[in-house]
Amino acid sequence: MDAAGPLAGLAVVELAGLAPAPFATTVLADLGADVVRVDRAKAGFDVLSFPHDPLSRARRWIGVDTKAPAGRDIVLRLIDEADVLVEGFRPGVTERLGIGPDVCLGRNPRLVYGRITGWGQDGPLAQTAGHDINYIGLAGALEPIGRVGERPVPPLNLIGDFGGGGLLLAMGVLAALVERASSGRGQVVDASMVDGSALLTAGMHGLRNIGLWNKGRGANMLDGGAPFYDTYETSDGRYVAVGAIEERFWGDLLKVLEIDPDAVAGRLDPERWPAVREKLAAVLRTRTRDEWTERAAGTDACLTAVLTPEEAAEHPHNVARGTFVELDGHRQPAPAPKFGRTPAGTPATPHEPRSDTTAVLLSLGYSAEDIDRLRADGVIA
């Protein structure tokens, strides 16, 4: 078996950025790609680097002043040998730096040029500043999240930055690589967090189209409106998640909770939801979270603990699956998904910022004297 992962041999250049771009390259690096991150030449206040960051693992890291002609040439030499470039700047930035798609694909026609922005490369908002909360708001992904009568709740930055952004960029890059295998040509992948976040709401739109998502925020089946799909507080101030949608799972849940089915009749009738919820909430407040999850173990009640991130790493199921790994004594999510023949293995720990500059330049054919001169001129770290 090849323990390097299914993307072993794939060369990726990452232009350092925030959240979605490094997440996309982390996904690629976890699966075996050789990623070189290109950061600024001079260290300083840098939100892109901190110790034990999963978004910095499993890649080499160089520092280059891309605004200097000699720095641009270094990046272009990297791109000449690369399969993929990933960047997350506003539209037009890499073009102004002289490393835009036309230049890079002109030198390396097989290059897949992955771009991730909030609004996309074009459109009226393309040059406007924003963050995850703005993108998912415009995509229609934020408004439905929250309780009845309350304001929308930001779902961390999981939908825009990571799910609709970085993960879909990685998927787009891989799709372009599959197409390249037949055409022999690279292309630009334009990933927008608005586009991707909207795509993640496809299931909600499907339910809306058939009339099953026709109420306001927090009043539908999958948004906490239904009593059989919600979280409940337990006697110790912690929470359990209940997802007993199907009738037989609902039956198992009532057995675990020792509730008479007649006491919660009409569970599919939204008019009955408040009364059913009140009954479930009262019963679930009588025991601790762990007592309830122990009682539900081995059943199909769809009742599980709501774990903190720290607790999740210790859960027996996650331990058995290797869902989390420990790097330098710090836990973080493991590569996913799993592969039967080419497993990804444990990712390499993050390198010190810009610490691979000399080694990478030597591999590109620069001499020690060239490197000393570039460093003296402030072109490289």
**Catalytic residue positions, numbered:** 131, 161
Ranges of H-type helices in the chain: 20-30, 69-80, 93-97, 101-107, 132-139, 168-183, 193-200, 202-209, 247-257, 273-284, 289-296, 309-314, 316-321, 357-363, 368-376
Give the closest residue to 168 by CA, choosing from 118, 203, 125.
Answer: 118
What are the tokens at 350?
């993050």
From residue 167, alpha-carbon distances to 11, 25, 159, 226, 356 in Å are 18, 9, 10, 30, 26
Task: Give the β-pairing of 229-233 and 187-192.
Answer: unpaired
Give the closest residue to 88 by CA, choosing from 59, 64, 113.
Answer: 113
Where residue 325 falls (left for φ over 0; alpha for ψ -120 to 50; beta otherwise) is beta
Q: Is 125 within 8 Å of 90 (Cβ atoms)? A: no
Give the strand order in the sheet containing 229-233. Answer: 229-233, 239-243, 303-305
Q: Is 226 within 8 Å of 220 (Cβ atoms)? A: yes
